[in-house]
């Protein structure tokens, strides 16, 4: 494609199809047709499409070496097919990546979980009805996993941008990594009482965002 400027400067009609779909039934997404999908994008005059690489469920829509593919797509490179078809139609592609909501990583690696003060992780605590598992970005293992996946995507596909979803703290985390990091950087244990007049509490919030 011979285009001028950044994608967001020329994109006035955008599209996102939410696909947080489990695969306990292999029929789920088994009939996903990239050609029909892109045909509808073209019909709607979409200029840029946000295409899922993974979802909150954690399963991938490309042949990943670092995670697990969604069983419903049966090994097909759905992401790659959609990217190629979009580019043929002059549609920019923004890859969607779910950052801390990842059920697969949450279940496979309990040590990556975000943990509340009561010792419960997100699903055990019933957040969002227990639907999603949240991983802590202060976990070195989870950080490495995410970086490896992003490197896979960048080396494998040509796209215009990446959207990192769920870039926030849905709960105050007291996992071993958060506590260790705060002790190392602040020289004290993390505070356990929410008090915005407490300098230690304010420092705790700022440190976890660095």
User: How big is the chain by its Cα radius of gyration, in Å?
Assistant: 20
- CATH number of residue 91's parent domain: 3.20.20.80
Residues 159 and 182 in one domain: no
Is residue 197 in a domain?
Answer: yes
CA dist 128 and 153 (Å) reads: 29
Residues 39 and 72 in one domain: yes
Residues 90 and 151 in one domain: yes
CA dist 129 and 192 (Å) reads: 25
Residue 161 tokens, joined: 């941008």
Residues 68 and 41 in one domain: yes
- Per-residue pLDDT tens for 68-83? 999 999 999 999 999 9
Name the residue range of residue 58's domain.
7-99+139-169
- Per-residue pLDDT tens for 21-64? 999 999 999 999 999 999 999 999 999 999 999 999 999 999 99
Residues 27 and 69 in one domain: yes
Q: Which residues pair with 95 in a beta bridge?
A: 51, 162
| pLDDT tier at 109, thresholds 50, 70, 90 | very high
Residues 164 and 189 in one domain: no
According to the model, what pLDDT value does residue 3 have?
72
Count of domains for the chain: 2
According to the model, what pLDDT value does residue 2 have?
58
Residues 63 and 45 in one domain: yes
Looking at every residue in the chain, the average pLDDT score rounds to: 95
Is residue 128 in a domain?
Answer: no
Is residue 152 in a domain?
Answer: yes
Residue 1 scores a pLDDT above 80: no
């Amino acid at each position: 494609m011979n285009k001028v400027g950044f994608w967001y400067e020329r994109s006035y009609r955008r599209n996102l199809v939410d696909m947080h779909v489990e695969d306990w039934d292999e029929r789920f997404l088994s009939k996903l047709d990239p050609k029909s999908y892109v045909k509808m994008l073209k019909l709607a005059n979409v200029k840029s499409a946000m295409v899922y690489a993974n979802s909150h469920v954690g399963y991938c829509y490309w042949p990943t070496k670092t995670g697990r593919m969604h069983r419903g797509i049966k090994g097909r490179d759905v992401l790659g097919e959609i990217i190629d078809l979009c580019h043929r139609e002059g549609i920019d592609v923004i890859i969607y990546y779910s950052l801390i909501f990842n059920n697969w990583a949450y279940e496979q690696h309990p040590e990556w979980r975000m943990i509340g003060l009561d010792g419960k992780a997100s699903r055990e605590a019933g957040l969002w009805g227990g639907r999603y598992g949240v991983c802590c970005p202060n976990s070195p293992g989870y950080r490495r996993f995410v970086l490896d996946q992003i490197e896979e995507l960048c080396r494998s596909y040509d796209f215009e941008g990446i959207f990192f979803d769920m870039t926030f703290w849905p709960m105050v985390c007291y996992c071993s990594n958060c506590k260790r990091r705060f002790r190392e950087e602040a020289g004290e244990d993390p505070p356990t009482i929410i008090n915005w007049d407490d300098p230690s509490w304010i420092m705790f919030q700022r440190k976890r965002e660095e």
